[in-house]
Structure 1
């Protein structure tokens, strides 16, 4: 791709000739509209119009994926690549989203459309920071040099007050946890105000760090308006904290950029709401495209779901998402974002997760997989560590468990 253009790949379904449908998308998302206008001269189109770069026709569909007003009963599916001049928007992530994922989803002639991938020129790397901490920075702050960070989520998600939250954190720290996060539903409610929760939790974490030299990483949910997020970040930093969390789909790209440009801590980027962007196979975003933009904007950790999870996503999709985070976008962004595996995770998914991913640069966040261990959370953490120890050394977990009672009990409990 020439450096002065950016590209996007789509999965398109249409009852119209695919060449016409692709041209309509290109026109709608650049210089065209539903009718020719006087100022759209050949010179302007040459300078500013989107281009159809490639069309790969796939197997036809048996019917429309989405409701609409369609003429005809045959529906073509194709992979389509479009490109735009960088001069249309400049290196601008919010307006990039408007260009590659704007009105095109509503076009009458499309019975399905999914954004699969984007490729951007180096100009974006010069404007946006990328992950400031990523894998190596997270390891340095958490003191976990190798293997996954064994993590968990505060549960119940809501309902605990600051003192109760701190007491649960004490239990988890005593169990040997590496990473804890607020649930995305808990930020600054009257029962558990952010300021009081941060003070209570960090008092526990700091006492433990003073005694042992290990500071557990806690991702405080700072989601809010930009000024609120920055103030909450500053409080966490002043208290000695080492991570903040934001719900990406709640704060949006400009809100996230307002936080990431300000932040001096790793940002745990939560994807809650991802289902409404992705669950239909012929509508919305593929994770590869979506996560690229947040990585460029400065996300240090990104959720990818987990194998055999409680949601609707299948295992192949989970692993494609996780593997995509290991692929560099720009050479100027050396830090890789850290994948976060969560949702019903326990010892039973460890072996397959490691074999399919091929590395352990991840946060393995287990709620019930720790707290639900029959011998308590300490045994829960121990069982996960031993499971990962075995997987990373190519030892069958069942074999390794013969010498580790906590792992045996976990394998029996999480069948």
Structure 2
């Protein structure tokens, strides 16, 4: 049976009775307020109030996780899993208003010293209201010509400072290295030293020449992050010059910006999550990626960054794999909204076995900077070592065995072990 109500799962921490605290959440995020008011009749509450679907106490805490909460002088601090639901008629199938409903003022309530949104489930009406990924895994594979295995990609480094011509020179090097995908760094935008339009012209001239000569058209994700009209114009410039991908920084353009880009786009959207840490790093505050990424997939993201295993960031490997798996998990019966997970941050051949084993799928993209450019035998060897590492992992062959007849992989493993 199709879901008729919006549902959201949380973990809460409170010194109050967890069942009463959940009722406070439900009231704050629907028809209630701190005092009974005229007009909130039983009939209205039956029609519009949020409902507490379940409360499960899971543990106790010695100290409150966050400041500013009430009632912690003597009461025990309990943690619980809570599920709330809302009638969709409260807001209709609106992503911006969904965020206000499931992740609004409740984070500020004094009843809680911890509150985190874990997951949410949405009625099919949301699938009809938003485009979802227009390309996803299948469309990305078609545009790149990579029909199986991971897409091997890299990032333009240095992050900023290159001119359009210097960027195009690096792109030429990576094209000759047999790369599948290249992206702007999220810090590269439309500055005077590397204007967006000039960068597109220079880079696509290089990519198009390479495609004419070899038959392989490398996908380049141009960072068009900006105001709404700027993003539309920049998208159209990429299309005009034969580009096959654009990139947006999700936390910078916001949900409405991504929705409008998703409705305008004729190219895959590479969604970068920079800034994600401030929404999630504390385990008792903010969002789980499992919940958060659903917004962006529905808005139109085709590729979603998920961090990488053994990376430079604080996220643990289990969380990275869980994030990647959820990008490949259908959201609705009528529209799957599948997005390709992008593994990045200090990725090399060494992470290939655990990445493939954890995800259980080759529908992924690896964005490796130093793992390719810093290979002792050059970028072509870096690309080759990564590709061979994933081929071996998919075939169930150890990296050590695969490296015996693959010098580039052997040299990569030696460098990582040093």
Q: What is residue 65 of structure 1 aligned with on the other side? A: 65
Per the alignment, residue 238 of structure 1 pairs with 240
Within 2, Cα distance between the matches of 1:128 and 1:280?
31
TM-score, structure 2 length as denominator?
Answer: 0.98
Rounded Cα–Cα distance in structure 1 between residues aligned with 2:337 and 2:330: 8
- Partner of 1:261: helix, strand, or coil? helix
Encode CA deviations 1:133-185: one digit per residue, 9 max, x unaligned.
00000000001000010000001111111111011101111111000000001
TM-score (norm 1): 0.99
Please tell me whether the aligned partners of residues 303 and 339 of structure 1 are also in contact (alpha carbons under 8 angstroms): yes
Q: 1:265 corresponds to which residue?
A: 267
- Alignment partners' CA distance in 2, 1:68 and 1:159: 44
CA distance in 1, matches of 2:406, 2:4: 58
Aligned counterpart in structure 1 of residue 402 of structure 2, from 380, 400, 409: 400
Q: Secondary structure at the match of 2:264?
A: coil
The alpha-carbon deviation at position 11 of structure 1 amounts to: 0.4
Q: Name the SS of the counterpart of 1:170 in structure 2.
A: helix
Match of 1:141 in 2: 143
**Separation in 2, partners of 1:335, 1:112:** 31
User: 1:272: how far off?
Assistant: 0.5
Q: Counterpart in 1 of 2:355?
A: 353
Deviations 1:195-243 (A, max 9, x none): 0000000000000011111100000001011111011000001100000
Aligned with 1:8: secondary structure?
A: strand
Residue 381 of structure 1 aligns with which residue? Answer: 383
Once the two structures are superposed, residues 335-355 of structure 1 have per-residue CA deviations (whole angstroms, 9 ceiling, x without a partner) of: 520000000000110011111
CA distance in 1, matches of 2:337, 2:27: 37
Secondary structure in structure 2 of the residue aligned to 1:224? coil
Q: 2:374 aligns with which of 369, 372, 375?
A: 372
CA offset digits 1:295-318 (Å, max 9, x no partner): 111110000000000000000110
SS of 1:273's equivalent? coil
Which sections of structure 1, spanning at least 5 residues, go unmatched? none
Q: Find the counterpart in structure 2 of residue 7 from structure 1.
A: 7
Q: How does 1:15-414 map to 2 (within 5 A)?
A: 15-72=15-72, 73=74, 74-334=76-336, 336-414=338-416
Is the Cα contact below 8 Å between 1:268 and 1:300 reproduced in 2? yes
Question: How far did residue 409 of structure 1 move?
Answer: 0.2
The more displaced of 381-390 and 330-339 is: 330-339
Q: Which runs of 5+ in 2 are unaligned?
A: none
- Deviation of 1:20 (Å): 1.1
Q: How many pairs were matched up?
A: 415
Structure 1 Cα separation of the partners of residues 55 and 69 of structure 2: 24
Deviations 1:234-265 (A, max 9, x none): 00011000000000011111111110000000
Q: Which runs of 4+ in 1 moved over 4 A?
A: none
Q: 1:104-147 CA deviation, whole Å, 9 max, x = no partner? A: 00001100000000000111111111111000000000010000
SS at match of 1:246: strand
For residues 110 and 2 of structure 2, the distance between their equivalents in structure 1, rounded to whole angstroms, comes to 32
Residue 332 of structure 1, CA deviation: 2.1
CA distance in 1, matches of 2:194, 2:293: 31
Q: Secondary structure of the equivalent of 1:151?
A: strand
Residues 129, 333 of structure 1: 8 Å contact kept = no
* SS of corresponding position for 2:60: coil
